[in-house]
Every structure is written in C-alpha cells, then in structure tokens.
Amino acid sequence: MIEKFYLGFILLFFILAFAIKNIKTYLSTGQSIRGKSIKLTTSILLSTLIYLLIALRLTILNPKWMFEINILGYEIIKMIGYLFVTVGFVMGIFALLAMKNSWRVGIRYEQKTELITSGIYRVSRNPYFLSYDILILGYILIFPSPILLMLYVTLVIVFHKMILQEEMYLETVQGDSYLDYKRKVNRYLTLK
C-alpha cells in the first residue's frame, strides 16, 4: 500500500509540476509557451495515455488487464524501478526549476529565450526529456507490461525527433553559444 501511495504521489506531483511550470511561465512572460507540431501533439497524447494507464494500474486495474509479465528476479528489477522513478522525478524537478522563463513546450519559432546551461543543464542538454524517460522506465520495471513498453518506446522515439528539431532551432537562434554548449554537454547524459 505504501508503495502504491509513493508511486501515485510521484506521478501526480510530476504531472502537476509540469502544469504549474507551464502556467507560471505563461503568467511571467505573458506569451503562449506551447509550440505547434504533430510531434508535440503525439507526445502529449502518448504521455497522457501512459499516465492514465499507470494511474489506473495503481488504483483499479488488475495486472492481467495490462498483460503484465512475471519476470525472474522480479524483486530486484522492481527495486531498480523504484530507484528510476525517484531519480527521474528529482531530475525532472531540477530541470523545470533551472529553465526559469526559458521553459517552452515545443518550439515557439517567434520567441527567443535565454540559453540555459547551468545547474542540471551542465549534465544533460535535455534533462527534462531524460527525466521523463527514466521515470516512465521505472514504472515499466515495476509494472512490466508490453502495452506500457510499446507506448514508451514510441514516445522515446517521438521525444528524440523533437530534440533533434529543437537542436536545429537552437543552432539558428543561439548560434555559437549553443554550438559551444553542444560541444561540452551531451544530448542525454554527460559523465565527467
């Protein structure tokens, strides 16, 4: 019961932190922060479906409805899942906080924001995407479902394509400062 409460709290807090960041940034800038693209819409739909399935699994869904697989050594895998959920959650919060008013959901081509390279952005150029990937992978390790796995892999691919598009955009608007940052910090994780 404590595990389900913890997992539910993390999921709810992660969703609320994202929503609050969007509202706070909009109120601070007075401008829409949401870009428009098929990739962004797809990522939002996939994320919502993943969130919904995890929330239902935590509350009312029986494992058989998610086609969960019984894995050998499951307790160890489950503990790794809890670690991933926690790490993904903490990383996501740090990423949201570090972005300040530069936070955008998708690309807003008409807006130029400050390039954030400090804090967690010294370790990853895309810590929020990475945090989401780690968080959801953690839930999949706890609830090993081929349905969640298929949605997750699709979402990771969509995220990667969004990141590549964002990198091209940042190169054009931030120029040499972004190229220098790109040379120093990896797309997903920099270990020094």
- Burial tier of 133 (Cβ tally within 10 Å: 0-12, 13-18, 19+): buried
pLDDT at 154: 98
Residue 192, pLDDT score: 65
Long-range contacts from 8-12, C-beta under 8 angstroms, 24+ separation:
8/55, 8/58, 8/59, 10/85, 10/86, 10/89, 10/135, 11/51, 11/54, 11/55, 11/58, 11/139
What is the structure's pLDDT at 133? 97
- The pLDDT score that the predictor gives to residue 24 is 87
Measured CA to CA, the distance from residue 25 to residue 118 in angstroms comes to 19
pLDDT value at position 136? 97
Please name the amino acid found at residue 162.
M
CA angle 15, 123, 175 (to 5 degrees): 95
Q: 51 and 7 in contact (C-beta within 8 Å)?
A: no
Give the pLDDT confidence score for residue 138 in this predicted structure.
Answer: 97
CA angle 140, 146, 150 (to 5 degrees): 85
Residue type, 154: T
Cα within 13 Å of Cα(133), Cβ side: 15
pLDDT at 22: 85
34 backbone dihedrals φ, ψ, rounded to 5°:
-100, 125
Question: In this predicted structure, what is the pLDDT of residue 188?
Answer: 95
Condensed to tens digits (0 to 9), the pLDDT of residues 110-122 reads 878 889 999 999 9
Which residues of the chain fall short of a pLDDT of 70? 72-73, 192
Amino acid identity, position 20: I
Q: Where are the domains of the chain?
A: 2-103+114-184
Residue type, 100: K
Report domain 2-103+114-184's class.
Answer: mainly alpha
d(CA 123, CA 56): 34
